[in-house]
Amino acid sequence: VVNSSETIYKDFQKLTVQEVPGTVPAGTLPRSKEILLFYDLIDLAKPGEEIEITGIYKNNFNVALNVKNGFPVFFTVIEAVSIDKNVGKVEITAEDIKDIKRFAKKPNAKNILFNSIAPGICGHFNVKRAIALALFGGVPKEKNNHRTRGDINVLLLGDPGTAKSQFLRYVEKISNRAVLATGQGASAVGLTATVKRDPVLKEWTLEGGALVLADKGVCLIDEFDKMNEHDRTSIHEAMEQQSISISKAGIVATLHARCTVIAAANPTRGIYNSSMTFAQNVNLSDPILSRFDILCVIKDIVDLKEDEMMADYILNSHEGKKQEGMEILDHNFLRKYILYAKTNIHPVFSNVNVEKISNMYSDLRKESISSGLPITVRHIESIIRISEAFAKIELRSFVTFEDIDDAISVVLDSFMGAQRYSVSKNMKKKFLKYFKKSNVDVVLFILKEMFNERLRAFNSHYVYGEELQKQLKSYGLSIPNNFYENKDFVDSRFRYEKKEDKIYRNILN
């Protein structure tokens, strides 16, 4: 019999902690243990955090099991004494901040940072750029209780063997907080939230899924196309409103899911068919596609020259050789740089070129009718978020015209990369006016396209200067003065041989 007057009542909280998967021996599953928290330790730790607990290992008498089995049965529990939340966290020192600010002032800081994403993977610059922008993210805004997300969602859609899963694994390592899920092994409740009955208290409790655990971090979903339609529909709210509403077993609650989503998927027929529309290549609904800010289509194109260079790149990386002329940031420095920018830099808009964005959106909507890829008002917000991410990369507190031009280029590249080859080629001419205003940038864009076409068609690694002049003339342009000595021309790995009138490009360096 319990004497109520002499009973001591204490508030407590029960947690279930699990070993960090990376620390367990090979071939074994992470073990879990129940922890009891009292007094000021309650609500100190949140789901998904990496913590270190100091506590007292105790045993408790289980009345229910004792009655059932007819002999004393005890279960063990740890009573926490202290919780350390700084385990695995990146510490940024004053010296680190100096190095970060020094690097941000470099004229080619953006390209160095993009190339430092998954340096072990050859090429795929557009994918590396998209992942970098997603890691930095935009600025969330809240007005009149209406919240607009700042996180950038990315979808990697491509042929098998194009390093999609490797990109996700890299993000898991570089991000300060990341949760990885697989489409085949993740159900709707595994990604969002579920209700479970507590075995001791017999009460219903909420248990967060991958998106909840990744709050203020990155949620990585591999094999996104393998999820069934019901499960994909369940994450609509989480991807746009960044919250998960649940109403089950008498529990009505809203959980935060303020995270970036980077998903990888395969085409419906295994290999992406460039002669078909985007809608025919994927088994994803328009509502889910419109929630991705950047779409990267990765095609495994048979190209003798590029395949040979990729093989050399892989062999050199296995031998520990670094590519000449390619600056790669240290893994730890990159982590600190991203964390510092996300935490301290909040760029604002001023003097936005509204007319350019609205005209581009209008033209893009017209093209989307026959493309099979939905373009909605969300893509205007995508341009804003991406331009803020570009500003964050250079640690600026304001967004420039160049950031907006870069963001428009990313959105257009994303849209045009998903089109049929003939359609994509015509669209590049039509949307050329929306790319950077500088003549040098426009000429470089055209030169890169010419170089890729010549490499694909003739296996040739050069373009004649006369050919470039003719191509520019068809656009009503000409080669700018001192173009071949221009820094952007050199940084794009081009070189001009005047005697031969040939423009060469080093793809790997």
State whether residue 117 is helix, strand or coil. coil
Please, which residues bridge with residue 434 across strands?
A: none
The pTM of this model reads 0.77
* Domain spanning 4-84: CATH 2.40.50.140: yes
What pLDDT shows up at residue 362?
Answer: 84
Q: Which of the pair, 102 or 477, is modelled with greater confidence?
A: 102
Among 311, 277, 282, which Cα is nearest to 156's? 282
Q: Report d(CA 211, CA 247) in Å as an integer.
A: 17
Whether 191 has a pLDDT exceeding 50, the answer reads yes
> Which pLDDT score is estimated for 195?
80
Residue 455 pLDDT: 75
Say what the pLDDT of residue 189 is.
Answer: 65
pLDDT in tens, 422-480: 666 667 666 766 665 556 777 887 888 888 777 776 767 788 888 888 888 776 677 88
User: In this model, does residue 60 exceed pLDDT 80?
Assistant: no
Residue with the two structure tokens 């830099």 = 345
pLDDT digits (tens, 9 = 90+) for 3-16: 778 888 888 888 88
Range 94-316+328-416 classified under CATH 3.40.50.300: yes
User: For residue 187, what are the contacts with CB-CB under 8 A and spacing of at least 6?
Assistant: 231
Cα 198 → chain centroid: 35
Given this model, what pLDDT does residue 509 score? Answer: 41
- Tokens representing 346 are 């909040």
Domain boundaries, the chain: 4-84, 94-316+328-416, 438-505
Per-residue pLDDT averaged across 292-301, rounded? 85
Query: Which pLDDT value is given to residue 1?
Result: 61
Identify the pLDDT of residue 359.
81
Q: Which of 211-220, 294-303, 367-376 comes out lowest in average pLDDT?
A: 367-376
Per-residue pLDDT band at 82 (split at 50, 70, 90): very high
Report whether pLDDT(199) > 70: no
Asked whether residue 86 carries a pLDDT value surpassing 80, the answer given is no
Q: Which residue has the higher pLDDT, 317 or 493?
A: 493
Measuring CA to CA, which residue among 367, 350, 351 is closest to residue 359? 367
Do 72 and 61 touch, CB atoms closer than 8 A? yes
Judge contact between 492 and 448, C-beta under 8 A: yes
Q: How confident is the model at residue 386 (pLDDT cuts 50, 70, 90)?
A: very high
Residues, the chain, total? 509
C-alpha distances in angstroms, 97 versus 29, 328, 393? 39, 19, 14
Judge whether residue 417 has pLDDT over 90: no
Q: Are 172 and 180 in contact (CB under 8 A)?
A: yes
Is it the case that residue 128 has pLDDT exceeding 90?
yes
- Please give the pLDDT value at position 212: 83
- What average pLDDT does the chain have? 81
Lowest mean pLDDT among 231-240, 324-333, 371-380: 371-380
Token pair 């003719």: residue: 470
Strand partners of residue 157: 265, 297
More reliable by pLDDT, 135 or 305: 135
pLDDT, one tens digit per residue, over 173-185 is 888 888 888 876 6
Per-residue pLDDT tens over the stretch 319-330: 666 655 568 888
Percent of the chain with pLDDT over 90: 17
Contacts of 177 (CB under 8 A, 6+ apart): 48, 214, 216, 217, 218
Q: What is the dihedral of CA 385, 388, 390, 392, to 10 degrees?
A: -130
Predicted local distance difference test score (pLDDT) of residue 424: 67
